Amino acid sequence: MRSRWPRLAAAIAPVLGLALLLAACGGPRNTLGTAASPCYRALPGAIDAVHHKGHLVGVRRVNTSTLQKRLPANQQLAAVRDKQLCVFAFVDDFHAGDVTGATNQAHGHYAVVALTLKSPRVVAAAIVDQLPTRFRHFR
């Protein structure tokens, strides 16, 4: 009488090998796979700038020159030397004292906070009624 183990092992081995290969390809990573992934290190600074008020709409990594064009009244951006900024948007009923460094208007629906990518620090902030760029992936 022959044992079924050799045939069973021969049948299971390729399936098990394929499963291990697929699991290795989908392993854990230290980024979200988006251009804004490095910006999430700056999130605590952005939350502090809005004094823990509002809900995070999103984060984008934006060229400083692009942000200057979209927020032309913001004088803080003119002095920024970094080429890339991490820009966070929060939604709530914001007033001038709610956002550190925001001097553009007294009231608005959104707070936009820009931080440097390396050694995150707030370099600009604004209170706006419309977001200067798209922060959500849908809609």
Residue 27 has pLDDT above 60, yes or no: no
Q: How far is CA 64 from the centre of its chain?
A: 16
Q: What is the pLDDT of residues 71-124, one digit of tens each?
A: 888 888 888 888 899 999 999 999 988 999 887 878 999 999 999 988 899 999
Q: Is 46 exposed, middle or buried (0-12, 13-18, 19+ CB in 10 A)?
A: buried
End-to-end CA distance of the chain: 67
Residue 132's pLDDT is 87
Own/partner long-range contacts of 93-96 (Cβ < 8 Å, ≥24 apart) = 94/50, 94/53, 94/54, 94/127, 95/127, 96/127
Q: Which amino acid is at 44?
A: P
pLDDT-derived band at 133 (thresholds 50, 70, 90) equals confident
pLDDT-derived band at 31 (thresholds 50, 70, 90) equals very low
Q: Is the pTM of this model over 0.75?
A: no
Residue 30's pLDDT is 47
d(CA 63, CA 93) in angstroms, rounded, equals: 27
Q: What is the pLDDT of residues 2-13, one digit of tens each?
A: 666 677 667 776
3-state DSSP call for residue 98?
Answer: helix
d(CA 102, CA 114) in angstroms, rounded, equals: 11
**Contact indicator for 129, 92 with CB cutoff of 8 Å:** no
Q: Is 22 exposed, middle or buried (0-12, 13-18, 19+ CB in 10 A)?
A: exposed
Q: What is the pLDDT of residues 38-60, one digit of tens each?
A: 888 899 999 999 999 999 999 99
